Homo-oligomer: A and B are copies of this chain.
Amino acid sequence: MIKVYNTLSRKKEIFKPREGNRVKIFVCGLTVYDNSHIGHARTYISFDVIARYLKYQGYSVFYLQNITDIDDKIINRAIETGEDPLHLARKFEEKYIQDMKSLAVENVNLYARATEHIPEIIKQIGTLLEKGFAYETDSGVYFDESRYPDFGKLSNRKIEDLNVHRINPDTNKRNPGDFALWKKKNEKPYWDSPWGPGRPGWHIEDTAITEEYFGPQYDIHGGGLDLIFPHHEAEIAQMESASGKKPMVRYWMHTGFLNVLGEKMSKSLGNFITIKDLLKECPPEVFRFFVLSTHYRSPIDFSQEILEQSRSGLKRIYKHIETIEELMESDIPETSSKDEEHEKLLRETRKNFQEAMDNDFNTPFAISSLFDFIREINRDINDSNISKNTLNDIKIFIKEIGNILGFEFVLSKSHDDVADELVDILTSIRGKLRQRKDYELSDEIRSKLNDLNIVIEDRKN
C-alpha cells in the first residue's frame, strides 16, 4: 500500500489511481531558454524514481511532460543572441534531453511541446470564454480569478490576501490576480487565433496538453515547490473551470528546493550549476545517489562535501558487489547452515526497503535498509559463513534495487578494471627490469604504454 503526500490536502493519502492499474503522471517540464541545472536534475531524478517504483509495484505508468518552447524568456534570450526563438528552443530542448539521458532519467513516455498544441490551447481558451471564466481585452484573453473562488487552495492562500500585495495593478484586467491565457502580439513568433494573432500564456499549455492526453482528470501532477503558486493554482482554476469536473488531479507532489552552500541557486550569486558542468566532475550515478539520499520533499544542500559522502556511500555498495562477485568465483560451499537466517534477513530487508518506498517514496530510509543489510552480511562473509545460494539471492536483490533506484549495479568485472590490472602488471615488471638494469626492455614498456596515452613517471622512492 503506497502512501503519497498530497500538497493539496497537506497529508499523506493512500495511493489509488483513477483507472484500475493505470497511472497518469504529469510533471512540469523545462522552459528551454538555457541549459538545465542541478535543481531540475533533482526534480526529474525524483520523479524518475517514483515512476520506477510504481512500475515495480505493477502499475502501468503513462508519464507525460510538457516542453515550454514559447515564452517571454525564450524570446528575450533569442533577441540577445540574434537567434530564431524556436530554433533556440529546439537547441536547448535537445541539450535537456541529452542531460536527462546522462542522468538515467528515462521514464518519461512523451514530451509534448507547447507550440505543437496551439489548437488544443485555443480550444481550451474558447471553452473558458464560452463558460464565462475568461474575458477578452485589447491586450489578450484573461482568466477571471473572481469566477473561481477556490483560487489559492493548493498554496493555502486567500485571493484577498494575494491581491493586497500587488503593486502597479494592470488596469487592463478586471482583478489584479487575473492571468493571461492568450497574449495578443504581432511580432513573430505568433499564431492565429479567434482573438487575433498572438501567443499562449504560460499556464494554459499544461492543462491543454494534459486534457489532450489524459482527459480533464488524472492521477499525479508533479513539479518543483516553486511552481505551486501561481502556476499550479492557475492550472487547477483553468482545468476545473473548463471541464466542470473536480478534482483535476488526485495527488499533487512537489519536490523541495536544491540550495548551493545554503543559498538559493541564482546566476547573480554565481552559484548556478548546470547539469553539463556537474557531470564534468561528478559521475551521474554519484549525483543520483546524492539526490536520493534526501527525501524528495526536503530541501537539499549541495556541496562538494556532501557529494563526497555520496561517492563513498555508493562505493560501499560497489565494494560489496565486488566482494560477492569474487566469492562467487571462489571455492565456497553451495549451501550453509546459515542459509535460512540469511533468507530471513533478505526478506526483512526487502520488506523494509518497500515499506520505506511505500511511505511517500522515502528513498533515504530505503537506502539505509540496504546499508544495514550489507553490514550484517559482511560480518558473515568475514566469518566465511555464507553459501553460493545466498550470494545468488543477494545478487538478484541488489539488481532489483538498482532497477528501482536507477543504478546499473554492474555485477561483473568491467573492462576498465582489467585494463587497470594489466597496467599494474606492466609497471611491476618494468620496475623489476630496472632493478636488473635491463633498460632496453623497461624503456620499451614505457614507450609502448606512452603510445596508448598511459604515462609512467619514475620518482625517487
Contacts and interface: CB of A to CB of B under 8 A. Distances in A.
Interface of A: 19-22, 60, 62, 109-113, 116, 119, 213, 414-416, 418-419, 421-423, 425-426, 429, 432-433, 436, 438, 441, 444-445, 448-449, 452
Contacts of A22: 116
A429 to B, nearest CB: 6
Contact of A432 (B109, B421, B425, B441): B441
A442 to B, nearest CB: 9
Nearest to A106: B106
Contact of A425 (B119, B418, B449): B449
A151 B109 CA distance: 35
A112 B213 CA distance: 14
A113 B55 CA distance: 14
A423 B109 CA distance: 44
9 contacts: A110-B110, A418-B419, A422-B423, A422-B426, A425-B426, A425-B448, A425-B449, A429-B429, A429-B444
B419 A445 contact: no
Nearest to A111: B60
A138 B112 CA distance: 46
A66 to B, nearest CB: 12
Contacts of A111: 60
Contacts of A415: 414-416, 418-419
A452 B213 contact: no
A119 B21 CA distance: 12
A109 B60 CA distance: 12
A441 to B, nearest CB: 6
B452 A19 contact: no
A326 B448 CA distance: 16
Nearest to A22: B116
Given A20-B116, A422-B422, A452-B421, A62 B429 contact: no
